[in-house]
């Protein structure tokens, strides 16, 4: 029996996100999202080029001439299938905080800011929450400031919203009806107990939780080869640190 290929956590996350994007037509990532960006490029390659990928800040993978404005137009017109959001805080109802903690506006800690997060959260049908750090500092019982709500009241027009939360420890699927996360898989080397200890909110959990599927040799070859070379154009520091790849 051949040994399983070794991989880094970032490669596991890239492979996992790429699977979640299968079958979609248009995926976009922000200007500071190298792992989702790599995953979108991997998913596009596996689609035979049928998937459209828009990476803000990229010259080769951004069809826009006016950046975020045109991205928001795509979302409003229903022409964007998936996007990625994170947060300085994320709670069990999929609310995200990108503003800060403490008594607003005199926050003790300031985060980067909400930008268009609430707008895209309402309009993009498959929003994947993504945050590598999985600690009780980030995964909180209730966010201090709601930059973008995970769910809305009945009657509110909202075609978009979260499908789940991917972290450095696990993958949670989000149930919009229950307004709760359910643990779907734990990453190799991680236990359910570790996830519970690192999570400030309650979540549903089956009796047996599978392990997140590890990337196979073929997937790793794609990530370390053509995907590394392609993503280096938009995220040069990440590509060089991870793969030793430089932008052409």
- pLDDT the model gives residue 168: 98
- pLDDT the model gives residue 196: 98
Contact 128, 17 (CB under 8 A): yes
Provide CB contacts within 8 A for 173, sequence distance 6+: 163, 164, 181, 182, 184
What does each C-alpha distance from 116 to 123, 124, 137, 165, 166 come to in angstroms? 11, 12, 24, 19, 20
Nearest partner of 10 among 247, 248, 234, 231, judged by Cα? 231
Read off φ and ψ for residue 181, nearest 5 degrees.
-90, 150
Strand 100-101 and strand 109-110: pairing? antiparallel
Task: Kindly state which CATH superfamily the domain 86-120+133-159+167-203 is placed in.
Answer: Glutaconate Coenzyme A-transferase (3.40.1080.10)
| 105 prior amide bond cis, ω within 30 | yes
pTM for the whole structure: 0.95
Nearest partner of 82 among 70, 93, 71, 69, judged by Cα? 71
User: Per-residue confidence of the chain (248 residues) as pLDDT tens digits?
Assistant: 556 789 999 999 999 999 999 999 999 998 889 999 999 999 999 999 999 999 988 889 987 777 788 899 999 999 999 999 999 999 999 999 999 998 877 788 888 888 889 999 999 999 999 999 999 999 999 999 999 999 999 999 999 999 999 999 999 999 999 999 999 999 999 999 999 999 999 999 999 999 999 999 999 999 999 999 999 999 999 999 999 977 76
Instruction: In the chain, list all ranges with CATH 3.40.1080.10.
Output: 86-120+133-159+167-203
End-to-end CA distance of the chain: 39
Q: What is the DSSP letter of 204?
A: B
């Amino acid at each position: 029996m051949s040994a399983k290929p070794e991989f880094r956590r970032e490669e596991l996350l890239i492979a996992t996100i790429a699977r979640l994007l299968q079958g979609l037509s248009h995926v976009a990532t922000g200007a500071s999202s190298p792992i989702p960006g790599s995953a979108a490029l991997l998913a596009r390659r596996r689609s035979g080029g049928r998937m459209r990928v828009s990476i803000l800040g990229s010259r080769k993978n951004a069809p826009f001439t006016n950046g975020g404005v045109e991205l928001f137009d795509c979302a409003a017109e229903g022409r964007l299938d998936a996007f990625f959001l994170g947060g300085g805080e994320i709670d069990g109802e999929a609310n995200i905080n990108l503003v800060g903690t403490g008594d607003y506006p005199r926050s003790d800690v300031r985060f980067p800011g909400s930008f268009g997060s609430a707008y895209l959260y309402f309009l993009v049908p498959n929003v994947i929450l993504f945050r590598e750090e999985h600690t009780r500092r980030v995964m909180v019982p209730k966010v201090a400031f709601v930059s973008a709500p995970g769910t809305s009241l009945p009657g509110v027009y909202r075609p978009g919203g979260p499908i789940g939360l991917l972290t450095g420890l696990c993958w949670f699927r989000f149930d919009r009806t229950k307004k709760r996360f359910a643990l779907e898989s734990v990453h190799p080397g991680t236990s359910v107990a570790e996830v519970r200890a690192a999570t400030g909110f309650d979540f549903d959990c089956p009796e047996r939780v599978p392990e997140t599927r590890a990337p196979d040799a073929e997937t790793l070859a794609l990530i370390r080869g053509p995907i590394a070379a392609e993503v280096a154009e938009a995220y040069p520091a990440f590509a060089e640190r991870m793969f030793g790849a430089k932008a052409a």
